[in-house]
Structure 1
C-alpha cells in the first residue's frame, strides 16, 4: 500500500504549473448538415476563452484547463447549445461535434437549451424511443468491456442476460430484428465470431475509440430506416484531428491491445486509423479453454472540402478464428464438448465513400457508396462412441457462408423554413450470398452404416435486391408542437414483395421541463437467410421450400413522457405496444415460429415448407432516471416491465424465449480530483437483474434413445431459467502530464463481483446421458491501460 501511494503521488505531482488541453469539432445545421461559419464556442467558466468556426464549420478551442469543462455554442438565429462535462485531457484534443437547431422565430433572442441534450438522438427526425450513445459512455460504465452493444443493455427496453454474447434484445424482439448501420450504410453482423443471419456474438468488431456520438432507436423509427423490426443502431465515425498529429496506445483484457494514429492530411483533411488485437483468450476471459484469436483494423479519412463538395472514406476489416479440441475441453466450457473437434473462422468488412455537397443555401445532398462482407466457416468433427475402443471420428458439420453487399445511399436534406424541413432519399442494396451447410444433426441413418447421414441442408448461390425509397418531413406546428411524418417503402426481389410503411411522431413541449411524445410506425423485415434458403429433400431433389416467405410485418405504437426535475437530471416514461404478423411458422400444427430464432450461432435446420401465418405481440412499460455528470458524479437507473408472446401454427399463445418479464439496471460513478486537481481517481458501479430466459424442456427419454437432444415441442418455452443477477465494480485513474502533451488512464473492472452463478443453458448431454446445466462466466477482473500523446 505504501508503494502504491508513493507511485500515486509521483504521478499526481505537487507543482503549481498547470497543463491545458483543447476541444475541437465541427458545427453544422442539424437538418441540412451544412457547416455554420462564424459560430462562437465559449468556455463557460471564462467567457474570454472563445473560438469561432471557419468556412467548414471547424473550430478548435485551446487553453482549457484539464478536467471537466462546460462549453456554450452560439450562432445567430439558432438555439444555443450547452456541452457540459467534456473531459479535457493533456494527451489529445477532445472531439466535440455540434448540431444546431434553428430557432422557431428567427427574430427572437437565442434560447438556451435546458441542460444537456444527450438523451436526444443526433437524427432530429427520431423523436421517440431514441437517444445518443457517446464514446465516453461506452468506456465509462463498469462491466461494459468497451463494447457498444453491451452498453445498450443498460438502456430501458433492452435485455441481454447472457454474458457470453452481445446480442441486443429490444422490447422482447429477436436480436435478428436489429438493424446495424455504419456511416449511413446497413451492414451485416459487425462482430467477431459472427454467423450468417445473426446480429451479435461474443466480441464486437466496432472500436469505441473510432466512434462519434451515435444513435440507438428502439421503436417507430424515422422513415429513412427499413428492413428491421426491433431496433436501429446507427453508428457514426469521428474525424481525425485536422490540426495536430496524435497517438493512442491501449491494452485491455476484453478490448485487446490497440494502436491509433490521427492527424492532418492535405490542406483541410484528416486521417484516423486504428489497429487492434484481442487478448481475451490470453488472459482466460473467453468462456472456453480454446484460444480465441481476433483482430480488426478501422479507418476514417476526411479529404476535406473541394469545389465539388466534401469526400470521406471509411472502413473496417475484422478477422477471427478459434480451434476447439475435445481433449482440452473443461466440463464447464460454454462452446465446446469433449467428443468434438471444431475449427471456426469468421470475417467482417465494410468500406464506404461518402460525398456531401450543398445544392443551395437551404438544401444539401449526401451520397454514399459502399461494400460489405461477412463470412464464416465451420469444420466440425464428432467422435462417435467416444471413450470406447470403437471410437470413430467423422465429419459432423461443414459450414461455408459468404455474404457480399453493395450499397448505394443518397439523402436529400432541405430546410425550406425554420418551421418545415424535408428529408428524402433512396437506399439500394444488392446482395450476393454463397452459403453451404452440411450436417449430421438430427438426421436419419438411411444408408445403414450405423451413423446419422451427412446431409446437405443449404447450398445456394443467390443474388437479390432490397430497394428502399423514403421521404419524411418535420413540421413545427407551433413553438411547442413538432410533427414528424413520412413514408418508407421496401421492395424485396426474392419474393417480389413491395410494401409501403407510414411513420409519424408528435412531440408536445408542454413546459420547459415537460414534454409528451406519441409515435407510430409500420415496419417489415425479411425472414433470416438461413431459413429462406434451407433445403428440403422432395422426391430426391433439394428444394428451397421457404424462399417465398412474406416479409414479417410489425406495427409499433409508443407514448412517452419526459420530465427534467432539475439541471442535469432527466426522467422518461414510455409505454409501447407492438403487433407482429406474417411470421414464419410450420404448415402443420406446431409451436414453432421464426420469432424465436436468432440468439445463438445458428438457426433451426429442420423447418421446411414454412408459411407466413405466425403472429406475436410485445408490450411494456419503461422508466429511465438519469443524472448527467456534474459535480463529479453521474448515474443511470432503468427499469422495464414487459411481455413478449407469440403464436405458432397450433394457435396457442406462448412466451417468447425473450420474454424475461422485467429488467432493472442501476449504474453510477464518482470522480475525485487529486494532486493539483488535474488528475482524477474514479469509481463506477453497475447492478443488473432480469427475469430468466424462457426455454423448452428436454424430452430425456427420447433424447437418450436418439443420442441427441429432442425437446418437448408441445411445451415450447414453458419453463424459465432462474433470475439473472450481476454486479460490477470499476476503479481507475486519469493522469495528465504537467509539462508534456501526454495523458494516462488505468482501470480495473471487477465483473460479477458476487460470483453469481447465472444459468447459461440446460441441455441434454450425450456423454453423461442426462440433462446438465452449464453456468455463465463467474467473477472475472478486467483491466486496462491507455496512453495518449
Structure 2
C-alpha cells in the first residue's frame, strides 16, 4: 500500500511541477484619432511556440487564451496603419486587458513599420509634440523608491527634481510645484495627496491607487491647447476599466497601508464592469494595537477609496462613473516629545492637521459614423483643511504651558463640466475643440495671536463665496507626410472674480529624419490662476480688514523647446531637449521686497501675503538628457540628467535664485528579472539620485532671539544651498505563480548608504539655536501583494 501511495504521490508531484500555467490576453483596438474600433487587426504573441495570435472582431475586440504566464511582446498590424508593439506581464492571478490605439498612415494601402518596441513619447493625447512621456502604472510599481506613487515615479524623468523624501511635489524645470495641473479621467482635480495643504500640489502619500491606473501622460512643457490653468506641467491620468468577463481580487499589505481590491462584470452580458480599491494606513492600525514606532502621537492616519464603473450601450454610447477620496490626520505634539526623539514640526508648538480630499465624475462618449466623437465630463471635487497650532511657553502658566496661536479652516468645492468634439477628416487632418467650466465655492478662515493675551486674535482671512473659471480651446493637427506633422491651437481663459482673461496660442512641429531619428519644436503661452486663498488675503486699514489681492492677473509663461530623439541598437533610445521659459505677471508685493509667488510651494504653509501686484518676472532654462534601454532580455536601464537655472525678480528688481533652483539632477535606474522557471521569478531594482541641494534663506539668529521666534534674513533670500542630495534605493522581490494565484513579495530599502540629506533648518525656540532636520536616513518598506 505504501508503495502505491508513493508512486501516486510522485506522479502528482511530477505533474504539478511540469504543468504549464496559462492565462488570457485580451483587449480592444481602436483608431487613435477617431476612437472607432478597428476590425480585422492582426494580433500576435511574438516568440511564442507555436505562434499564438488572433484578429479583432467588428467591435475591435480580441482575445488570446492559453498563453503561458510571463512577459510577452504583442504585435498589432493592419493595412494602412502603423504597426504597434506593446509588452504585457501575464500573471496567474490576473488576466491582461489592454486598450490599443493605432495611428493611421498618410501613405494609404501600405504597412508602415515602427522600429521602436515602445515609443514612450507616443502619448494618449493626440496633440502632444515635445516634453511628453507615457506614464506606466507597471513602472510606478517596479521602480525602487517610488512607493507605488505616480508622482515619485515621475521624479525619475528628465527635468523633474525629486530631492525630497518627505513629499512628492513635482518640481519641473525649476518651476514651483503649484504650476502643475492634475487631471483624472478628463476632469481637473485638486491636490491628490494625503496631508496636502491649501494651494499645494504635493504630500507625503498619494491617494491615487497605482493598482487602478491605466497608462497615462506626463508633460513637462509646451503642452497642447486642451490643457489650461497650468504653467509648468501636466499629469493627465486615466483609470483603467475593470475586467468585464471575470471577477478578480487583490490583497496588498505594506508600510504604506493595508489594501483590498476587486473588479469584474456586473452581469454575464459583459457590457458593464466595476473596479474598487480601499486602503487604510498601516501605522494607524499599529497605533490601534498599541504598537509604538517611536513617533509618539505623530502617527500619520489616513485612508482612501477608489472606484470606477464602465457601461457600454448599443446606441447611446459608453458611460463611466468614478471617484477617489482620502481622509488624513496627524498630530505633531512638541509637548509630548521625548528626550532624543526626532520630531519634524514647528518648535515649541503643538500642531494638529486634518486634510480631506476627493473627486468624483461621470463621463459619456458618443461615436458618430463620420469618424467623429464627442466626450462630456461632469464632476465635483473638493479639499478641506483644518489646522490648529498652540504655542508652548513656560511663562504662560497654563496647563501644559499652552496657549492658542493659530487657527485655519479652508474648503474649496469645485463643480466641473467640459465637452470636447473630435473629428478625423482623413489620415492627414484631425481637429478637436472644447469648452471647460469650473465653479468654485470657497471658504477661507484663519487667524493668529502673537500677543497671547485676552481676545488678541487677529483675523487674517475670512471669506465665503463663489467664483468661476471658463475656458475654450481649438486645435488642428496636419500631417504633411508620415515624417512631418504640425499641431497648432489656441486656448482662452476667463476668470469671473476679477474679469481676467488669457489668450494662449500653442504650436508644435515634428520631423522624422528617418525611422530612427526625429527633431521636434514646441512653443506657446501658458497661464495659471493663483492659489485661490491668495486672492482673499487681507490687510488692516483704519481698523478694518480689506482684501488687497483680489485684482491679481493670471501668472503667464512663454515656453520654447527644441528636442532631438534617436533610437539605436535594439530597444535603446536617446533624447535631448533644450528649453527656455519666460514668466511674467507673477504676484509680487507692491513695495520693494524679495517676495514672489513663484516661490510658493517650497514650504508647507499657506502664507497670508497681502498687497500683491502682478508685476513679477522669472526665467528658467536648461538642457535635459534621457538615455533609456526599454525592458527586454530581462532587464531595463534609465538614465536622466538635467542642468538648469531658475531665476526670478521681486518688486525690489533684484535677480535671485528661485527656491527650486537646484541647478542639476542625475537619476540612474536599472532592474533585472531572474526567471527560475515559469512559477518562480526573482527581481532586483536599483535607483540612485544625485542632485543639487535645496535653496534656502538663512536664519538671522540674533534677530530670532530678540523676537522670540524664527526670523529669516530676506536680503539673502535663496542665496544659500544645502549640501548636495544623494540617495540610493534597492528593491529585491520575488514573484510566485500557482495555477490561479500570484504572490508578490518586495522589500524597498531606501537610502541604503544612510546618507544624511538635509531637510531644513529652523529656529529652536526652547534652546535659542538653529536646528537642522534630516531626511530619511534609512527606511525599509516591505510589501506583499496577492492577485487571484
What TM-score do you get using the length of structure 1 for normalisation?
0.94
CA distance in 2, matches of 1:338, 1:712: 19
2:241 matched to which residue of 1?
A: 239
Determine if the alignment matches structure 1 residue 436 to structure 2 residue 438. Answer: no
Specify every segment of 5 or more residues in structure 1 that has no aligned partner in the other structure, as ranges.
Answer: 1-9
1:484 is matched with 487
Is the 8 Å Cα contact of residues 622 and 641 (structure 1) preserved in structure 2? Answer: yes
Superposed, which structure 2 residues align to 1:118-517 within 5 Å? 118-254=120-256, 256-266=257-267, 267=269, 268-280=271-283, 282=286, 290-329=298-337, 333-337=342-346, 339-385=348-394, 392-440=401-449, 443=450, 445=451, 453-517=456-520
Quote the residue 2:28 is aligned against. Answer: 26
User: How far apart in 2 are the matches of 1:116 and 1:64?
Assistant: 21
Which deviations, in whole Å up to 9, do the C-alpha atoms of 1:138-170 show, x marking residues without a partner? 010111111110001100000021100010100
Q: Residue 701 of structure 1 aligns with which residue?
A: 702
CA distance, structure 2, for counterparts of residue 294 and residue 507 of structure 1: 45
CA distance in 2, matches of 1:144, 1:522: 32
Q: Does 1:604 align with 2:607?
A: yes
CA distance in 2 between counterparts of 1:11 and 1:167 reads: 52
Give the conservation status (yes or no) of the 8 Å contact 2:156–2:162. Answer: no
Work out which of the residue numbers 51, 75, 79 in structure 1 matches 2:78. 75
8 A contact 2:510–2:519 mirrored in 1:
yes
With normalisation by structure 2, the TM-score equals 0.94
| 2:777 alignment partner, SS class | coil
Residue 219 and residue 540 in structure 1: after superposition, are their counterparts in 2 closer, same or farther (change >3 A)?
same
Change (3 A) 1:236 1:31: same
**In the TM superposition, what is the alpha-carbon distance from 1:269 to its structure 2 partner?**
1.3
The answer to whether the Cα contact below 8 Å between 2:78 and 2:111 also exists between their aligned partners in 1 is no
CA-CA distance at 1:752 after TM superposition: 0.3
**Equivalents in 1 of 2:115, 2:415: separation in Å?**
41
Instruction: Map Cα deviations across residues 75-100 of structure 1 (whole Å, 9 max, x no partner).
Output: 3321111113x211111112322111
| RMSD after superposition | 2.1
Tell me, yes or no, if structure 1 residue 591 matches structure 2 residue 599: no
1:753 is paired with a residue whose SS is: coil
d(CA) in 2 for partners of 1:702 and 1:530?
Answer: 30
Give the equivalent residue in structure 2 for 1:523. 526
User: Corresponding residue for 1:779?
Assistant: 778
Say whether the 8 Å CA contact 1:355–1:368 is kept in structure 2.
yes
Q: Once the two structures are superposed, what CA deviation does each residue of 1:327-356 show, in whole Å capped at 9, x if it has no partner?
A: 333566454356322322111111111000
| Secondary structure in structure 1 of the residue aligned to 2:201 | coil
**Per-residue deviation, 1:567:** 2.1
Question: Could you tell me whether the CA contact under 8 Å between 1:329 and 1:338 is conserved in 2?
Answer: no
Measured against aligned partners, the alpha-carbon deviations of 1:22-80 in whole angstroms (never above 9, x if no partner) come to 22222221112222233232111247422333444333322111111111112332111
Task: Specify the alignment match of 2:118 in structure 1.
Answer: 116
Are 1:622 and 2:624 matched, yes or no? yes
Q: Distance in 2 between matches of 1:102 and 1:375?
A: 46
Give the equivalent residue in structure 1 for 2:663: 661
- 1:543 matched to 2:546: yes
Whether the aligned pair in 2 keeps the contact of 1:328 and 1:338 (CA below 8 Å) is: no
**Residues 1:37 and 2:36 aligned together:** no
Contact 1:288 1:335 in 2 (8 A): no
1:688 aligns with 2:689: yes
Q: For residues 509 and 762 of structure 1, do their structure 2 counterparts lie closer, same or farther at Cα, with a shift above 3 Å needed?
A: same
Retained in 1: the 8 A contact 2:337–2:343?
no
In the TM superposition, residue 390 of structure 1 has moved relative to its aligned partner by: 9.4
CA, structure 1 residues 416+11, in 2 after alignment: closer, same or farther (shift >3 Å)? farther
Shift of 1:678: 3.4
Task: Determine helix, strand or coil for the equivalent of 2:17.
Answer: coil
CA contact (8 A) 1:329 1:337 kept: no
CA contact (8 A) 1:290 1:328 kept: no
**1:198–1:599 contact (8 Å) kept in structure 2:** no
CA change 1:750–1:612 in 2 (3 A) is same
SS where residue 785 of structure 2 aligns? strand
Cα distance in 2, alignment partners of residues 252 and 106 from structure 1: 52
Match of residue 770 from structure 1:
769
Q: Secondary structure at the match of 1:306?
A: coil
CA distance in 2, matches of 1:288, 1:173: 36
1:5 aligns with: none
CA contact (8 A) 2:335 2:392 kept: no
- Residue aligning to 2:563: 560
Name 2:674's counterpart in structure 1: 672
Aligned residues of 1:103 and 1:111 also touching (Cα < 8 A):
no
How many residues are matched? Answer: 768
CA offset at residue 284 of structure 1? Answer: 8.0
8 A Cα contact 2:296 2:336, kept in partner: no
SS of residue in 2 equivalent to 1:327: helix
- Equivalent residue for 1:58? 61
Q: Deviation at 1:12?
A: 13
In the TM superposition, residue 306 of structure 1 has moved relative to its aligned partner by 3.4
DSSP 3-state at the match of 1:412: strand
Q: Give the whole-Å Cα distance in 2 for the aligned partners of 1:286 and 1:576.
A: 46
Q: Once the 2 structures are TM-superposed, how far is the Cα of residue 210 of structure 1 from its aligned partner?
A: 0.6
Contact in 2 for aligned 1:22/1:62 (Cα 8 Å):
yes
Look up the match of 1:6: none
Of the structure 1 ranges 374-383 and 415-424, higher mean CA displacement relative to structure 2 is found in 374-383
> Residue deviations 1:156-206, cap 9 Å, x none?
000021100010100000000000000010001011111111000111000
- Residue by residue over 1:513-541, the C-alpha shift from the partner in whole angstroms, topping out at 9 and shown as x without a partner, is 10000000100111112222111111111
In structure 1, how many angstroms separate the alpha carbons of the residues matched to 2:659 and 2:196? 21
Q: CA–CA distance in 1 between the matches of 2:276 and 2:233?
A: 29
- Tell me the distance in 1 between the aligned counterparts of 2:762 and 2:404: 22
Q: Is contact 1:663–1:691 with CA below 8 Å preserved after alignment?
A: yes
Residue 389 (structure 1) shift: 8.5
Whole-angstrom CA distance in 2 between matches of 1:765 and 1:11: 66
Tell me which residue corresponds to 1:7: none
Are the counterparts in 2 of residues 458 and 534 from structure 1 also a CA contact under 8 Å?
yes
- Name 2:727's counterpart in structure 1: 726
Work out the CA distance in 2 between the residues paired with 1:62 and 1:671.
Answer: 25
Q: Distance in 2 between matches of 1:452 and 1:618?
A: 47
The 2-side partners of 1:297 and 1:150 are apart by 20
1:599 deviates by: 2.7
C-alpha displacement of 1:557:
0.4
In the alignment, the residues of structure 2 paired with residue 60 and residue 278 of structure 1 have an alpha-carbon distance, to the nearest angstrom, of 38
Cα deviation 1:760-787 (Å, max 9, x = unaligned):
1011111111111111121011110011
1:238/1:389 Cα in 2 relative to 1: closer, same or farther (>3 Å)?
A: closer
